[in-house]
A and B are shown apart, each in its own frame.
Chain A
């Protein structure tokens, strides 16, 4: 009996490797990767060679050398007598993070208010919001920064004629001076009370959610948390005899000393960044709210939800998923735009480290690489956080 091979059972004839699509794909990927690595290696080697040929110092050893110049605003202890270039990097980085962080908070708050106002049924409010958006969105940011700094803040009165509230808050062109709280013995109790209140409000939130899921009865958890957070530390503070000393700024010689000083460079940069970015955020928020169809609102009302509940439970969660991704871009823009600080002498990373430090050391390659790496990392962290937040806020489809 002639055996007839079933063609389906025959082992598939493998094509020769140079014709196998899988093998070819791998080979090409390896080749391209190797090419990219070789190019990078060539560029780096060439760079090192050229730098050496020109007698330019290389390496990161300079980071431990003494910097020896003064910095206008340092969030960590810094002295021109002993601090290193490495420390100027950290000081600049913190100043960048400070202005970006505050800018993100302020621009978000302002942007949400303006965005909602833009949709207001009140004609005046809506048009004012429209005017705000169109003006601040369409003027170059650098122009706005220079305007706020040179035309507004530097026209404030000199320290001797400072605007003041009582004898504790002073506003001058050198900055805003506020009393500085100084913790006395026993202030630890207030701090402990605050920590306890935070823990308690988390527990409260959990409990109220569970109770509502079980019984359907809502509990005013937000209000309760607020009372806890404000009341408990305050009570501890008063009971321990108010162990906080306010150091008031005083005019001594050329300047105010003591107290907290907010330098006008920070104020101008923060204000212009917040105002500028808020205009974009407002449009994003408006787009988000408009993306929720009106039927959703009507359905919520039909279920008997109060308007504020309808907004919080139905409209905002759906608007968020449209709002968050573009919001991420705005936060990234704000952070990167903060490097315009260099125009008005705010000591951010670019002005301080990629400016003064670069110039004193002359090591452009190292300094610029570090600076670029930092912006990349900050941006990626913001992105990651916002992606996580977006995933949390996304609608869970059933």
Chain B
């Protein structure tokens, strides 16, 4: 199937006449009336369809926020589940308008793939999940281990780099989906499962007995995850980038989905500008109350974090580096003014 997707994309590339002129994606999105968003096929906390088929997760909420900003309606979004292997081709070929799929921002991807990242929705790092009964307490004790890893990820490269750097041997078994990776790890095909730490927590709770596995303390890489777009549409880029900034600013200003209507009456000029009470020249090509709609319908950054991966979720991941800069974390957004 994914070969088919790639093949179709190639044909699409070949046939698509003319070039992507500025604003092409944004115009197309407005015209068709919804945002086509590429998400993970199933990763608790980031993007997963529940039993009713409703998509949930941080990455999914980012898509909803974009829809809220553009259309004033967070439900005007359609999701395309993609594996790690399919994701860039799907974005490059125009199958999705935005890729919000726990994707690491790297130079090679910005530069070589014709895509562009708009920001960081989750600051992550690669770690290791091991069976408790092995008694391994540190990643440096993994010499000779078999490692399960998802295909087509930066994870594969970091893994090889880390073991090479520490002069350790390993065997990698590579799977397409995180479900297969998790199944193989549970069956004992490998001693270690490596992935971004957030994913390790998510996969751990999928195990029949989550307490049988433990996440090792080492974080071996920087994995800034964020939404990516095709290059060449600055207006669309601005909308997606400022959607995230609006959510971060809202949290910083204490504006949440619950109090956003009261906050409209606030005298704080920052809040007035955020919610469009005091109209500033933003030039985003979206209604002036775009940020209000985002916060009202989806929530501020803190809300979506806690709801999907934090205290309000089974994952119970702490804010850590994802706390606001005012709270000792790294999340920081330029001001809306």
Is A245 located at the chain interface by the 8 A CB criterion? no
Which chain B residues border A342 with CB–CB below 8 Å? 2, 176
B174 engages A255 (CB within 8 Å): no
Is A186 located at the chain interface by the 8 A CB criterion? no
Which chain A residues border B88 with CB–CB below 8 Å? 359, 362, 364
A72 engages B173 (CB within 8 Å): yes
A53-B232, A254-B146 given; A362·B113 CB < 8 A: yes
A-B contact count (CB 8 A): 156
Max count, chain B CB within 10 A of own CB: residue among A44, A49, A342, A347: A342
CA distance A360 to B174 in the complex (A): 14
- Contact partner of A53 (CB less than 8 A), chosen from B3, B19, B112, B173, is B19
CA distance A354 to B151 in the complex (A): 11
Is B204 located at the chain interface by the 8 A CB criterion? no
Is A338 located at the chain interface by the 8 A CB criterion? no
A35-73 interface with B by 8 A CB criterion: 43-44, 46-47, 49-51, 53-57, 68-72
- Contact partner of B172 (CB less than 8 A), chosen from A54, A55, A69, is A69
| Distance of A65 from chain B, by nearest CB (Å) | 10
B114 engages A70 (CB within 8 Å): no
B187 engages A70 (CB within 8 Å): no
A355 engages B151 (CB within 8 Å): yes
A68 engages B19 (CB within 8 Å): no
B168-190 vs A, CB cutoff 8 Å, 1 = contact: the mask equals: 00111111100010011001110
Which chain B residues border A255 with CB–CB below 8 Å? 144-146, 171
Max count, chain B CB within 10 A of own CB: residue among A54, A155, A264, A368: A54
A174 engages B3 (CB within 8 Å): no
Number of interface residues of A (CB under 8 A): 51
Is B325 located at the chain interface by the 8 A CB criterion? no
B142-178 vs A, CB cutoff 8 Å, 1 = contact: the mask equals: 1111100001110011011101100000111111100
Is B54 located at the chain interface by the 8 A CB criterion? no
Is A191 located at the chain interface by the 8 A CB criterion? no
Which chain B residues border A53 with CB–CB below 8 Å? 19-20, 232
Which chain A residues border B15 with CB–CB below 8 Å? 43, 46
Which chain A residues border B184 with CB–CB below 8 Å? 154, 345
A46 engages B7 (CB within 8 Å): no
Which chain B residues border A70 with CB–CB below 8 Å? 156, 159-160, 163, 170-172
A54-B114, A356-B156 given; A154·B189 CB < 8 A: yes
Q: Which B residue's beta carbon lies closest to that of A357?
A: B152
Max count, chain B CB within 10 A of own CB: residue among A252, A339, A350, A365: A365
B89 engages A364 (CB within 8 Å): yes
Instruction: Name the 9 nearest CB pairs between A and B, nearest first.
Output: A359-B152, A56-B114, A70-B172, A80-B160, A154-B187, A54-B114, A362-B113, A55-B114, A69-B156
* 20 extra A-B contacts, CB within 8 A, seeds A355-B151, A361-B112: A49-B19, A54-B114, A55-B114, A55-B232, A56-B92, A56-B112, A56-B114, A68-B157, A72-B172, A150-B187, A173-B187, A173-B189, A257-B144, A345-B180, A355-B85, A355-B176, A362-B109, A364-B6, A364-B88, A368-B6
What are some 8 contacts across the A-B interface (CB < 8 A)? A55-B231, A70-B171, A72-B172, A154-B187, A254-B144, A350-B3, A355-B176, A364-B9
Interface residues of B (CB under 8 A from A): 2-3, 6-7, 9-10, 13-17, 19-20, 84-85, 88-89, 92, 108-109, 111-114, 134, 142-146, 151-153, 156-157, 159-161, 163-164, 170-176, 180, 183-184, 187-189, 191, 230-232
